[in-house]
Amino acid sequence: MTTTPTPTTDDAPSPPAPAPAQGKGAWSTLRPLVLRLHFYAGVLVAPFLLVAALTGLLYAASFQAEKIVYDHELTVPVGDRELPVSEQVAAARAAHPDGEITAVRPSPEPGATTRVLLSGIPGVDPGHTLAVFVDPYTAKVRGELEQYGSTGALPLRTWIDEFHRDLHLGEPGRLYSEFAASWLWVIACGGLVLWFSRRRTQRKLRGTTGRRRTLGLHGGVGAWVALGFVFLSATGLTWSAYAGAHIGDLRTALGQETPAVSAAAGEHAGHGVAGGAGGDAAHGVGLDRVLAAARAEGLGNPVEIVPPADEGSAYVVQQIQRSWPTKQDAVAVDPATGQVTDVLRFEDFPVLAKLTRWGIDLHTGSLFGLVNQIALMLLALSLILLILWGYRMWWQRGRGSAFGRPIPRGAWQQVPPQVLVPLLALVAVLGYFVPLLGIPLAAFLAVDIVLGEIAHRRGRRTYGPASR
């Protein structure tokens, strides 16, 4: 900016950087570099983080909002006895004869409806299904809604979920959320290190005003929630487009993929099996015997029944509880005999598969229900406040007349080679596995070097340590 702020005791101009002193500690040389990275990453990435925080706040609240908005479809008065699942599915088919039944989710608890999921319905997004809600006590259809994903998100939560993930821009929009997740942990860790490197007296809020008070609020709140941000960043990257692909490749190489139950039917498959026409779920022995076989293997509610994909396939019954304790067991049932042909237990999942499952569910607010969702909302609110305080500090560096001075360049020149070289190698490795961290960082360094060279040629290059 062209306006130069008036120096005060709170923020005086920095003197030229002295040459690195002999025996100078590694941290004292690294701190200006970390401060510069934290400052510029905060300024440039914060708008993306702000969008992610606002949409994430909405998503965390959408679970409870969904229960209120769709109460008629989701709940019914508790009756005396539930009807067989096959009768409930028949009622849904009578109301919606089009499309194919892709899954059935029997009522998971008293007073909850059964969901019959149909694909290929005109007007329904090809990536979604139409959920027909059936009263398990009377077999009356309560309504139908478009559903998305394994968590059974209905239109309200689906819209917010897609808004948070890609701003309703499709695959190109996913770059925004991956960019934000790629940098969130860097900003959080940098801020945490800077905060605890300050002297205790400098971290006090009482009696401070102006920029020091804003800094105290920014740093204090940031220190409390930094680990939460690192968690959100790491788990968000697990299903991102580019970093997520690298994580998936790593899990495959380590033999830590999420296993799946074998849906191959037994030797009697295709012989004497009455395949349902028009996408009917009543293959062979039928839904009721299949569900009974799964119950005998210990699969309690909530479960999802997936009909055979073809004559050589079995029914798959899988638990779909993402809350704690996680229920993800699955069995395959031969449609000709009703016998269980394969069993998969969640306890047998590889360690990384379990951690990925729990991490994603904690990130999305499913693992611990309402408590989980409240914690996510608090994290989102904290991130919003930290961003606003960060920009306020930048403004206060200019004392209200203009945005403040940027952090001076040249800090890397003070870092000893024995520290700088391994650091650059680590950054290169991280940049490869997290490209939306590595590519923008390389671009920033290139632009910064060019601008520094231009300033040098004009005789205006200045280096100096920045205070915080």
Which pLDDT tens digit goes with each residue over 77-136?
999 999 999 999 999 999 999 999 999 999 999 999 999 999 999 999 999 999 999 999
What is residue 269's predicted lDDT score, i.e. its pLDDT? 47
What is residue 104's predicted lDDT score, i.e. its pLDDT? 98
What is residue 15's predicted lDDT score, i.e. its pLDDT? 43
What is residue 6's predicted lDDT score, i.e. its pLDDT? 41
User: Do 231 and 273 form a contact (C-beta atoms < 8 A)?
Assistant: no
Measured between alpha carbons, how far is 316 from 393 in angstroms, rounded to an integer? Answer: 56
The H or E element that residue 116 is part of is strand 114-119
In degrees and rounded to multiples of 5, residue 302 shows phi and psi of -85, 145
Q: What is the distance of C-alpha 275 from the center of its chain?
A: 40
In degrees and rounded to multiples of 5, residue 171 shows phi and psi of -60, -45
Measured between alpha carbons, how far is 438 from 435 in angstroms, rounded to an integer? Answer: 5
pLDDT tens, residue by residue, 391-443: 998 888 765 555 556 666 666 667 778 877 888 888 889 899 999 999 998 88
Whether omega for the bond prior to residue 136 falls within 30 degrees of 0, making it cis, is: no
Single-letter amino acid, residue 257: E
Structure tokens at 187: 């900003």
Q: Which residues of the chain have pLDDT under 70?
A: 1-26, 199-203, 205-207, 266-280, 282, 398-413, 459-468
- Concatenating the DSSP letter of every residue in 364-400 gives HT-TTHHHHHHHHHHHHHHHHHHHHHHHHHHHHTTTT
Measured between alpha carbons, how far is 291 from 82 in angstroms, rounded to an integer? Answer: 14
Alpha helices in 78-141 (DSSP H): 85-95
Which domains does the chain show, CATH number per domain? 26-61+168-251+376-457 (no CATH), 76-153 (3.10.450), 259-348 (no CATH)
What is residue 449's predicted lDDT score, i.e. its pLDDT? 74
pLDDT tens, residue by residue, 333-346: 999 999 999 999 99
What is residue 419's predicted lDDT score, i.e. its pLDDT? 78
What is residue 40's predicted lDDT score, i.e. its pLDDT? 87
What is residue 411's predicted lDDT score, i.e. its pLDDT? 66
Q: Quote the longest CA-to-CA distance of the chain.
A: 89
Number of residues that this document lists for the chain: 468
Question: Exposed (0-12), middle (13-18) or buried (19+): which is 246, by Cβ within 10 Å?
Answer: middle
